[in-house]
Amino acid sequence: MLLDTASMYFRAFFGVPEIKAPDGTPVNAVRGLLDFISRLVDEYRPTDLVCCWDNDWRPQWRVDLLPSYKAHRVVEEVAGSPDVEEVPDPLEVQVPIIREVLEAFGIRVVGADGYEADDVIGTLATGAGQPVDVVTGDRDLFQLVDDELDVRVLYIARGVGKHERVTNGWVRDKYGIDAHQYADFATLRGDASDGLPGVAGVGEKTAASLLERHGDMAGIRAAALDPDSGMAPGPRGKLKAAADYLEVAPRVVAVARDIDLDRSGTALPRRPRDPERLAALAETWALTSPVERLTAVLSG
């Protein structure tokens, strides 16, 4: 089970009522995340659990390809380091607490410098050698769904309690494409939340029909340049006008699958690694109930 950790703690922050520790520090995201993990582990009993981390939420190599990528979320540009992301202050102070609690539990946290959590997930899901459940509220990760390799997404956009199990059939029913086409589909359609403009005038239906007919982005671009391809003048003109964008955007949207990562230590812990530290954190940050629930779930 691979957790898109930031996706989950953002949802916890905005979905769980404000709760404060004795010193006044908000802890609703910490409590919510722990309860999300308890619920998922209890339902699915994974053999392995990884909290995948955004070491770089806006990698420079993606920005170099497409400067608009997540540009609207930048608070401050930092030369030589990840830019500062717009994060509510009451959430930002909770992120270090989340890391400490996960470490005390012995739940593996994996990130990679210069990469997003999506890329860590893509790499760990590829060649995992076992079934994989990816927990996220991010549609971009639908590109990893693979029925043959038993990789699916547990999609939490409507809440962890109402999550959907995304398989290739789910993607086809929803969008009219196969999961392996999703990255090209998203490139064509665009995604304002990530600063992806898409191809002007191409929505989901047109994107799906282009992929249905031409297979992938290479096939679509070749057909747009081939006067004998039978492509209608409207889409042909729109694709030609977006040629520069289509040259770079697929590499931005596609998650990395080949980062050099340490895959050890991912087994689901049966008991906290550092119970004394965990107890101290629970007392300091008013986390006793969620810590007890997750401890009980882990013990099985």
For the stretch 111-130, pLDDT in tens is: 999 999 999 999 999 989 99
Query: Residue 10 corresponds to which tokens in the numbers above?
Result: 């953002």
Tell me the whole-structure pTM to 2 decimals: 0.95
Distance of alpha carbon 99 from alpha carbon 107, whole angstroms:
10
Instruction: Give the model confidence (pLDDT) of 34-82 as tens digits.
Output: 999 999 999 999 999 999 999 999 999 999 999 999 998 887 777 777 8
Q: How confident is the model at residue 201, as a pLDDT?
A: 95
Residue 297 amino acid letter: V
Q: Which of 170, 181, 249 is nearest to 213 (CA)?
A: 181
User: Which residues are CB-neighbours of 228 under 8 A, at least 6 positions away?
Assistant: none
pLDDT value for 72? 86
Radius of gyration of the chain (CA): 21
> How far, in Å, CA of 135 to CA of 117, rounded?
12
Helices (H), the chain: 5-15, 28-44, 60-65, 89-92, 95-105, 117-125, 168-175, 182-189, 204-214, 217-225, 233-241, 243-253, 275-284, 288-299
